Structure 1
């Protein structure tokens, strides 16, 4: 065993053997909303910041620092549903608060004093973001942000430029996981982790070189991270499901305290620290997002107990406004027009700047010839185009479904056998609120809701013999009870129960995604289901003579590289199973139960077109040939990629769904499940229909609807008339 392995094993033994040294009684400080992250703003009257992840609220909330048991809300900035809001200090003499909205991926800056938005500082950063940390360079005093998303980090410079607050991307680099919590020491050491993931670290620097990322330990469960800045060194605070722990930089545990005071506590993350003294909290306090038996919001607790027995002297004089360097060395050079680092006399320009002196504003791919460059890597796209470089085709939804359920996921399209205009859309809701199936018409009107055990992905099975009757079925994996859920579709497209419609899966197997397959050689019907460990189960679906459904497990295999999977679809003519591995890409497998369980990766996250998370997967085959298209949703970019159905599955295009202002339908963000058909359905969908989940259905005033919706798009608007006509329907 190596020296580092010995150290980690020893640290693990310390962690497991230490008893709780204290109890900390928590107080719900701000309740009535859903939070993921918290942050304190240091001032003569400190403020507590918390994101508002709830649909109806959104943005972030600000509470005063009078140290009352229930902090008073002083502002609710409705920027759109968000996950982060943190302060950044002394940018040209003023402090600001930075947030990023999930609904439009715009980073916004607000004056900390007065909370007025600095509109010229707004920065579009397309993606799905989880947490945000600030870092001030100890050598230059420059302020940076580290924005964590789908297995990537974006490092951004925040500065005062010509009396304006400016936010510039410096670099983007990959990470092994999606960081959900982070903390930064004064020397630039960055810690990050996520639930059920190892604790990682890297060293932030003022360069374009991606840092080396190290695993520190797998033995410390993390739901939130924060840095405590003592007089001479920094310490790492970690909150898990029931305790607060404090470690030195070598992960030697200094103390641990049990969290009490909130019944049925669930720690949601976002640990933050206020190192200032008050009558109620003489050693300072901490905060994190929580859910409890009675409330949801932000909880606070005193640091006194955790510091008291750890031999760490409370540093209540800590001031983040203090400069980190006395003799600062500035790598951002006037010689480089203040738009790049001067490396040995050579300018290395920030993204979006070019030329020998970095004075030229540039855009990625020159906006792909479909727009004009109006700022550093900021394109103004021509009509019909979208995306960071205008390479996405922009389409508009014709309809959106009525709101239904708290957390929708996936759609399927049932085609009426004789009256296509009476076809239906079946969707799932996987949350407790509204859990089950919903049926909509082609205008998005809700026709039926059938309660279910939190179904996830949903598919349609046509012409299946149940007893002596031939009928259509819907199939989904139901996460509430880890079963395979089947319902009958009657002649009008409504759902009905069927004997044997609830089928078990193995004990301790937690279902996630699913899809269906009918063998073109045997005619047998199969059901695929997966879990978050990429373990695929393939069942044969049968019916007894008296009309009771039953299943038989015929195959097991691990999909992709073993990362989290969900969406899948089968090509029933070619005998293929396509599956999406959320962090890695798109894979193809044999769909027959006796086929090879070795997959072929046909698209990779980070290949320049596909970005994590890979979510929904659907297929539109041509009517009379092996042509057609495979569609994949890319959640991190709220976009969809199209590949050729036939091997080698060449990339065709990327599209996104933008606002349809005329119809009052908003754009799609954080896309998830998708479905598509190439059949003529009606005059709105003459060459087929594409349906997608919309995670944040925006309303007037930047609020988000409480319940989920799905968008309905003409397939011809996506593919264009020529490609749509080639499908042959």
Structure 2
């Protein structure tokens, strides 16, 4: 993958930014109550429909809304395959219009008939990964339709085609991208794929091609601010690129000339993403409408605005005759029977016979044979193109992961669970507690469960993300246990006292500030064995770590904190999970898109360079690197580091002792006998870890099922966190 700049085009675009006209654009229709990222539209002369994802509730899925002439959005259907981030539509595939989604719990594509909104067949083409953008492209040459799916600095191209009365999705190729795309859009007339990443003003492009050769990625230009959404309006002569930047939508031509912008009005603190365009005429919207996911002071959900004001004010050419179902009159097939319909037929002047360029997983001169990546890791049989039938006890990506069944789960609690911790009772270990976080607005706070998973207590907190336990903290003339979390809603450090019966209670000084303009994300704790001082780590998505000393003020009888260190973790990519190793004086952090790192945890330790424990792409580690935990042994060298990998719903195990040898990867499967489902889209993890309900639950897994007897023998069942 090669990334190049286009300085001439970029200079032209920037030259227009200061002079382009801007107008206000009101929200014409809106519906709230949904945590959303993306929108799509179904073209229908009489009943156009807006489709939006539901990434909030665990049941999630997507919602369908009628675009009414009354100026409102009316929900007509809600499908619930699980929390869903991505949704798009394709028109005229085998005579059908389709809604295409990927549910996060199982990573399967699902197809729905856009007219009835009923699922077509079974879920298909499982794509393990943490995916962030999805676009459809119809070739104006062949009429074939393709999907581009974006994830962690990679994209996958699929062919979407009729097959035996149904629809199939066939993987073409996977290639690298310079950023994790958060939005994408495609111009069919120029065969251009546009995409952008979070917290990034750059817009990247590559050519949409019917080829298995990875495309060259170029920087098309830079918007004035970070891009939050992209959409293409198909014009009569040329297409327009719509670029959202928080509450502003800017319009560009095919040379990235800035044609003007609008600012969304109707509420305070508006943020939009997931742009899409409905460019057909309706009674209320004669020039069509632009749709988006919206969040503001009024809430979060979906909205739309009239295109008439945009096109009228900026004198752009309206094209309501656009037909997304239009196929080429004389299609030139790109996929042919000479290549077993499993590859592209490429002709050359030197030969009358076509040369086959096989799709991913197919091989041979005519693409008539199949193969599997890594030969199913030697633990299974290849039964189709990159499809493995794994031996018992193995699963995940090409049979590379050990499979484990969870033994129990906590009661469901809250809409967006993230991270667990385990508090060990000083009275009786059977009275120990599992403490979990709910980081979304609905039910935000901490949950307390016994070791069977029964809910004991919930306590409100300001959207805590990660949670950790502090033992034997000196508070005046007594020692207490505390629970600590970084709270995202008000960007504070949240602390509660843990009573001996395992319940939580507010404590004086339990809400501590961070610093101005700092946005809290992840957190963990560390107690120095050299000085006995207690420290709190907190991080931001920007990889900025703050380290605070926690102390007790005898005069005010309250907790207080002092900032003692500030550093950048990893290589500057988004961070969240971390854990301390007090015996060795380390803090171990996960950089989500890249690696697992180790730093000295004392305030005076040099944090200019960390020790790289493992890196995404090293053959064992996959993005996103999320929760990190430590399994203690009897000595500072004994024990294991466990890290969760959200993109593949799996966990890696490394030795605690440097250089941190990789041990194995495990994933979970349904425990049908006990009625406990698998862990999917894994996030936080503790020494025992965290389908589809409206609330999240955390799974309990036996270390005896994860580690071999020889590895278990290296641990200590007598480990006491208070010693």
Within the candidate set 244, 249, 258, 1:253 is matched to: 258
Q: Is residue 728 of structure 1 aligned with residue 692 of structure 2?
A: no
Alignment correspondent of 1:378: 387
Alignment correspondent of 2:515: 506
Within the candidate set 285, 289, 301, 1:285 is matched to: 289
- Relative distance call for 1:376 and 1:545 in structure 2 (3 A) is same
- Mapping of residues 76-155 of structure 1, within 5 Å: 76-119=78-121, 122-155=124-157
1:639 and 1:539 mapped to 2: Cα distance?
32
Q: Which runs of 5+ in 2 are unaligned?
A: 349-353, 718-723
Two-structure CA RMSD over aligned residues (Å):
2.7
Shift of 1:346: 4.3
- Mapping of residues 306-705 of structure 1, within 5 Å: 306-324=310-328, 326=330, 328=332, 330-343=333-346, 346-544=355-553, 548-597=558-607, 598-624=609-635, 626-676=637-687, 690-692=688-690, 698-699=691-692, 704-705=693-694
Shift of 1:162: 4.7
CA contact (8 A) 1:28 1:297 kept: no
- Relative distance call for 1:221 and 1:324 in structure 2 (3 A) is farther
CA contact (8 A) 2:275 2:291 kept: yes
- Relative distance call for 1:356 and 1:572 in structure 2 (3 A) is same
- Relative distance call for 1:244 and 1:591 in structure 2 (3 A) is closer
Q: Deviations over 1:106-128 (max 9, x none)?
A: 10122334334332672211122
SS in 2 for 1:501: strand
Alignment correspondent of 1:685: none
Alignment correspondent of 2:302: 298
CA contact (8 A) 2:644 2:652 kept: yes
Shift of 1:599: 0.6
Shift of 1:484: 2.5
Shift of 1:296: 4.6
Within the candidate set 165, 168, 171, 2:170 is matched to: 168
Q: Deviations over 1:143-196 (max 9, x none)?
A: 110112233221111123455422111122233333222111112211122453
1:482 and 1:54 mapped to 2: Cα distance?
21
Shift of 1:57: 5.1
- Is the deviation greater in 493-502 or in 406-415? 493-502
2:270 and 2:430 mapped to 1: Cα distance?
47
CA contact (8 A) 1:624 1:728 kept: no
Q: Which runs of 5+ in 1 are unaligned?
A: 677-689, 693-697
SS in 1 for 2:256: coil
Q: Deviations over 1:425-458 (max 9, x none)?
A: 1222323333332221101122222332332222
Alignment correspondent of 2:705: 717
Shift of 1:622: 1.6
Alignment correspondent of 1:203: 207
- Relative distance call for 1:154 and 1:540 in structure 2 (3 A) is same
CA contact (8 A) 1:588 1:602 kept: yes
1:710 and 1:416 mapped to 2: Cα distance?
20
- Relative distance call for 1:504 and 1:289 in structure 2 (3 A) is closer
SS in 2 for 1:691: coil
- Relative distance call for 1:650 and 1:325 in structure 2 (3 A) is farther
- Relative distance call for 1:708 and 1:80 in structure 2 (3 A) is closer
1:151 and 1:475 mapped to 2: Cα distance?
33
Q: Deviations over 1:207-247 (max 9, x none)?
A: 33332323321524432211111111111112333333321
Shift of 1:66: 5.7
Task: Give me the TM-score of the superposition, normalised by structure 2.
Answer: 0.90
- Relative distance call for 1:351 and 1:440 in structure 2 (3 A) is same
1:3 and 1:169 mapped to 2: Cα distance?
29
Shift of 1:548: 4.1
Alignment correspondent of 2:183: 181
- Relative distance call for 1:246 and 1:486 in structure 2 (3 A) is same
2:709 and 2:435 mapped to 1: Cα distance?
27
Alignment correspondent of 2:720: none
Within the candidate set 263, 267, 270, 1:263 is matched to: 267
CA contact (8 A) 1:171 1:351 kept: yes
Q: Which runs of 4+ in 1 moved over 6 A?
A: none
For these two proteins, the number of residue pairs brought into alignment is 702
Alignment correspondent of 1:683: none
CA contact (8 A) 1:35 1:268 kept: no
- Relative distance call for 1:221 and 1:500 in structure 2 (3 A) is closer
CA contact (8 A) 2:251 2:259 kept: yes
- Is the deviation greater in 602-611 or in 213-222? 213-222
2:28 and 2:154 mapped to 1: Cα distance?
34
Alignment correspondent of 2:230: 225
Shift of 1:97: 2.4
Shift of 1:461: 1.9
Task: Give me the TM-score of the superposition, normalised by structure 1.
Answer: 0.90
- Is the deviation greater in 336-345 or in 227-236? 336-345
- Relative distance call for 1:551 and 1:355 in structure 2 (3 A) is same
1:449 and 1:498 mapped to 2: Cα distance?
16
Within the candidate set 187, 196, 216, 1:193 is matched to: 196
Q: Deviations over 1:432-490 (max 9, x none)?
A: 33333222110112222233233222212222322222232222222233332333323
CA contact (8 A) 1:265 1:290 kept: no
CA contact (8 A) 1:255 1:309 kept: no
1:36 and 1:181 mapped to 2: Cα distance?
9
2:252 and 2:41 mapped to 1: Cα distance?
21
SS in 1 for 2:50: strand
2:644 and 2:269 mapped to 1: Cα distance?
35
1:75 and 1:518 mapped to 2: Cα distance?
52
Shift of 1:302: 1.6
Shift of 1:384: 2.9
2:381 and 2:458 mapped to 1: Cα distance?
47
SS in 2 for 1:11: helix
1:3 and 1:208 mapped to 2: Cα distance?
24
- Relative distance call for 1:243 and 1:542 in structure 2 (3 A) is closer
Q: Deviations over 1:531-585 (max 9, x none)?
A: 2221222233333456543333332221111111111111112222211111111
Q: Deviations over 1:606-653 (max 9, x none)?
A: 223222211111111222461221111111122111111122212211
2:117 and 2:491 mapped to 1: Cα distance?
46
2:94 and 2:5 mapped to 1: Cα distance?
46
